[in-house]
Structure 1
Amino acid sequence: MLKSDRKPHLDAFAVASVLFCCALWGLGQVAIKAALSEITPFWQAGLRSLIAGALVWLWARARGIALFDRDGSLGGGLLAGGLFAAEFAAIFWGMQYTSASRMVVFIYLAPFVVALGMPFISRHEKLTPRQGLGLLLAFGAVAFAFAEGFSAGGQPQQWLGDALGLLAALLWGGTTLAIRGSRLASASAEKTLFYQLAVSGLALSLAALALHEPLPLAWSARLLGWFGFQAVIVSFASYLLWFWLVRHYPATRLASFTLSTPLFGLLAGVLVLGEAITLRLVIALIGLALGILLVNK
């Protein structure tokens, strides 16, 4: 990839694209929760990645994009794919011990991992004090919005679930850093995504077999709809767009926008599950907007 392909700032297209991805990821959380009543976690995650990986392969073949040429990206691709698989394993495993509200807050510590790690990869992506304040404000808004979902008593071994949520955040941030710090930074978005989907699909499916999770033989229209949305729209289309954005725009500033995903998820819960919008959510949305403004001013 030529240096001129990278842009130092986010333009209107990048902002609109990353917010669109965040909205899809927020709705994807609702889809995962809805599908869990009919399919086990690791089979859901593994099959989703395998199907999305096959779609990426077909897409690349139709566009003449090489996925298996020797370009030195194998090491970075295996690392990114392993981190991607471990992230989802931590999330699904941790959900057994902590609430979804707590889990989602810990997961979205990932932008801090990217912000702290990027200066070691690109000296041009250091956060200024104002941007650091904006990132803290944005995260505080997310935590404030989800705080009302926290239960007073908690679940048994909740500390373990919380710790796995923190681990998932480290793995997600590490995946972004692995992409930017390896030969994947000059690989196509299709190849970057294919590495992660193929490796995670195989790893998570093997984990499902090892855990003796039952694979559903009869798929209802409801399950096909929720699962298809995850595999085709979220794991294929939105991830493909995301990795293209990471290759062409500053990763730290893109990562700050991912803090809006939990709020999109909450809005999706309102629209799909009939949950009420509260004053806390409105205040959090304002705080999130101000935080993102400070980071990207």
Structure 2
Amino acid sequence: MPPKTQLDRLAITLMVLFCTLWGVQQAAIKIAAAGISPLWQAGLRSVGALVLVYAWTLVRRVPLFRADGTLVPGLLAGLLFSIEFALIFAGLAYTSASRGVIFLYTAPFFVALGAVWLLPQERMRRAQWIGMGLAFLGVLALFGENLVGSPGEAWKGDLLIFLAAMFWAASTLTIKATTLVRASAEKTLLYQLAVSAVALPPLAVAFGEPGVFAPSAAVWASLAFQIVVVASASYVGWFWLVRHYPATRLASFSFLTPVMGVLAGALLLSEPLTPAVFAALGLVGLGIWVANRPTAD
């Protein structure tokens, strides 16, 4: 399939599906955190997904071990992926799933900034910059609510997940700007899962985490959802999209995920929907529309 310059119906349909799953993922992480400590949960997630995706490549006979120049960028992408999810899981120990998903999806803003230097063929239109800016203002409004109106340590979680967004953007740009762009989606994902599966459990031990301390049906179901649906199926689909469609257009469309994440937090975790959350969602939604509407420039 040759690279596309626009998002077609297939890409839009997949992005809506994936954004819904990724929004629910934040709530699933919070539910599983009731019985598994953060870095252990992230590590178990990568180990389980690594097994499933590798089995998938065997069934489909996807070549993985050819000398194609992807080893170094693959290991780099894996390292960035590991840091990203270590920060996400640690951050959600402090902040809510609703807030966390909004901060995480500042990543498209950083993808757009990096693309100026690394992906000159994916020129950003003026409308895309305006849309990104509107969405980013929404995130800033949400962060300000914690700094001035909410006591406690929620701002720490917000900051950790904001940093995770930067590493997610760096991972996306690494894939688009290196030989990984020619690799299969499965191979790209396996680099990330393999590095994180090796790195995260020892990191959890180093930080003295208790591991699985209160297993329950809800905890295991949430972890299984993350492994099978999110980290395996949806991530293979995401890397396929990154390979074939413009990263900046995919990234701006993925701002839909915060909407799904806030709804999942309210429905599954009874998290409060404050005025700042609604304001952030409004600005994010407006940013999506502005960035993706047909325009002459």
TM category (shorter chain) comes to 0.7 to 0.9
The root-mean-square deviation of aligned C-alpha atoms, in Å, is 2.7
2:76 paired residue number: 79
Aligned to 1:227, which of 223, 227, 234? 223
Distance 1:286 1:225 in 2: 32
Within the alignment, does 1:68 sit opposite 2:65 as a pair? yes
- In structure 2, the partner of 1:243 is 239
Distance 1:51 1:25, change over 3 A: same
User: Helix, strand or coil: the match of 2:254?
Assistant: helix
Counterpart residue number, 1:46? 43
1:15-164 equivalences in 2 (<5 Å): 15-95=12-92, 103-141=100-138, 152-155=149-152, 161-164=157-160
- Aligned position for 2:262: 266
Pair 1:5-2:2 in alignment:
yes
2:196 is the counterpart of 1:200: yes
Structure 2 gap segments, 5+ residues each: none
Query: Retained in 1: the 8 A contact 2:253–2:288?
Result: yes
Equivalents in 2 of 1:153, 1:294: separation in Å? 31
* TM score, norm. by length of structure 2: 0.88
Q: Deviation digits for residues 261-294 of structure 1, max 9, x if unmatched?
A: 1221111123223457677766665544432232
For 1:273 and 1:154, the matched residues in 2 are separated by: 20
Percent identical among aligned pairs is: 49
The equivalent of 1:181 in structure 2 is 177
Show the counterpart of 1:255: 251
Q: Which residue of 1 aligns with 2:288?
A: 292
CA–CA separation in structure 2 for the residues paired with 1:223 and 1:246 = 31
How many positions carry a matched residue from both structures? 293
Moved more, 131-140 or 251-260: 131-140
Listed one character per residue, the Cα deviations across residues 109-143 of structure 1 (whole Å, up to 9, x for unaligned) are 21111101113222221212221111222333456
Runs of 5+ in structure 1 lacking a partner?
A: none
Q: Cα gap change, 1:121/1:148 in structure 2, threshold over 3 Å: closer, same or farther?
A: closer
Q: Deviations over 1:118-175 (max 9, x none)?
A: 132222212122211112223334565787677724325x665554333212111100
The C-alpha deviation readout for 1:12-70, integer Å capped at 9, x for no partner, is 11111112111101101001001101111111000101110111100011001012222
**CA–CA distance in structure 2, aligned partners of residues 107 and 289 of structure 1:** 15
**Counterpart code for 1:74:** L
User: Bigger CA drift: 120-129 or 146-155?
Assistant: 146-155
Residue 216 (structure 1) aligns with: 212
Aligned CA distance change for structure 1 residues 190 and 288 (closer, same or farther; 3 Å)? same
Shift of 1:11: 0.8
Q: What is aligned with 2:164?
A: 168
Q: Are the structure 2 counterparts of residues 133 and 59 from structure 1 closer, same or farther at C-alpha, using a change threshold of 3 Å? A: same
